[in-house]
């Protein structure tokens, strides 16, 4: 379908991380869907992490490696019994290598309705400068 | 008669050839469950949003992962023994150059049926951290009643 207005959302099973090393905590680890947008000033990362609260998210930027980890606690109460289960809950984890130099002191993160918005401002030195070419 | 007894051999019925396939599938599922420690094939209607339904003595609980969707943007209605959830996820386009675009937008609607009547007046819904939780109290008239046995 090309018309985005009439598009219907498709049910998708969350993709699981297949890492060579096992997680220390048992349970599944999912790959969150992300949008990454770049402007001259900053790189914005948007990640869908339903069930992850502001306190449960861990963002780490070391050298060029950005790591996002979110823990979604199981929302079920103690006395509830499964009738049927279509999705699993667990951890979210994803890593990116950033190609731009990021000003680590100005990183801003916001968690809203299960969506993480991460702003990574570029360093002054990494921002593009207009170079005018003189006609000789 | 002879033919029939041959087909029925050894003990399992042969009403449908798929019975046997289903049995094999169940056994394979059971085997892989033993290996991974959780259900291999989650039951799924394949309709967005995927839901987890749980119950306790008094209520049914329906949970769905709807990241980025405000609770008041989801239309919910209850009729008799079914719950319908509908809505639309809209993603405001960002300014700039997209490197990745994996998050999807679009409309959705789904109906979930329960084996019992729902007390429509007491249904509650709330959303937090992108998870929608709907609590549907079971109708009083259909709840099991304790029967006291009188000593003779």
Segment B76-108, tens digit of pLDDT: 999 888 999 999 998 989 999 999 999 999 999
List the Cα angle A71/A77/A80 in 5-degree steps: 125
Chain A closest-CA separation from residue B72 CA (Å):
12
Q: In what helix (H) or strand (E) does residue B83 lie, and over which residues does it extend?
A: strand B82-89
Residue A17: inside a domain: no
- Digit-by-digit pLDDT tens for chain B (152 residues) are 455 545 545 445 555 667 777 778 777 777 766 665 555 445 566 788 889 999 988 899 999 999 998 878 899 999 888 999 999 998 989 999 999 999 999 999 999 998 888 998 999 998 889 999 999 999 888 777 788 888 87
Residue A16: inside a domain: no
Q: A28 falls in which pLDDT band (50, 70, 90)?
A: confident
Burial B67-79 (b: 16+ CB within 10 A, else e): bbbeeeebeeebe
Give the mutation candidate from B40, B51, B52 for the A interface (greatest A CB count, under 10 A).
B52
CATH classification of the domain holding A106: 2.60.40.790
- Written as six digits, the tokens of B119 are 């007390």
Total tally of structural domains belonging to chain A? 1
Give the mutation candidate from A85, A90, A92 for the B interface (greatest B CB count, under 10 A).
A85
Q: Which residues constitute the domain of residue A51?
A: 26-75+86-124
Residue B87: inside a domain: yes
Interface predicted TM-score (ipTM): 0.78
Listed residue (A38, A27, A46, A49) closest to A126, CA to CA: A38
Q: Which residues constitute the domain of residue B21?
A: 2-36
pLDDT at B145: 78
Q: Which of A10, A81, A113 sits opposite B55 (nearest CB)?
A: A81
Total tally of structural domains belonging to chain B? 2
pLDDT value at A105 more than 80: yes
B14 vs A108, which has greater pLDDT?
A108
Q: A99 falls in which pLDDT band (50, 70, 90)?
A: confident
Q: Which of A49, A53, A86 sits opposite B42 (nearest CB)?
A: A86
Question: Do B81 and B133 share a structural domain?
Answer: yes
Residue B147: inside a domain: no
Residue B148: inside a domain: no
pLDDT at B15: 58
Q: How many CB atoms lie within 10 A of CB A118?
A: 22
Give one word for A55, left, alpha or beta, with left for phi > 0 and alpha for psi -120 to 50. Answer: alpha
B29 vs A111, which has greater pLDDT?
A111
Query: In whole angstroms, what is the distance from residue A124 CA to residue A42 CA?
Result: 10
């Amino acid at each position: 379908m090309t018309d985005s207005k009439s598009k219907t959302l498709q049910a998708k099973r969350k993709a699981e991380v297949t890492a060579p090393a096992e997680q220390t905590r048992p349970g599944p680890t999912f790959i969150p869907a992300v949008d990454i947008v770049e402007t001259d000033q900053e790189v914005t990362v948007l990640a869908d992490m339903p069930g992850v609260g502001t306190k449960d998210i861990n963002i780490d930027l070391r050298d060029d490696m950005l790591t996002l980890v979110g823990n979604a606690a199981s929302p079920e109460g103690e006395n509830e019994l499964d009738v049927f289960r279509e999705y699993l809950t667990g951890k979210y984890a994803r890593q990116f290598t950033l190609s731009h130099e990021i000003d680590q002191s100005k990183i801003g993160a916001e968690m809203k309705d299960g969506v993480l918005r991460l702003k990574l401002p570029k360093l002054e030195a990494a921002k593009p400068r207009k170079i005018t070419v003189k006609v000789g | 008669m002879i033919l029939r007894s041959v087909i029925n051999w050894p003990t399992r019925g042969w009403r449908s050839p798929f019975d046997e396939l289903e049995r094999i599938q169940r056994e394979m599922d059971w085997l892989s469950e033993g290996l991974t420690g959780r259900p291999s094939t989650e039951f799924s209607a394949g309709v967005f949003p995927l839901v987890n339904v749980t119950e306790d003595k008094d209520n049914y609980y329906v949970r769905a992962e709807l990241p980025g969707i405000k609770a008041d943007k989801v239309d919910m209605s209850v009729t008799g023994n079914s719950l319908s959830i509908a809505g639309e996820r809209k993603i405001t386009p960002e300014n700039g150059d997209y490197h990745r675009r994996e998050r999807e937008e679009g409309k959705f609607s789904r109906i979930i049926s329960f084996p019992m009547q729902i007390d429509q007046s007491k249904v509650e819904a709330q959303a937090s951290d992108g998870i929608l939780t709907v609590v549907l109290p079971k109708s009083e008239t259909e709840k099991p009643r304790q029967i006291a046995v009188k000593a003779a």
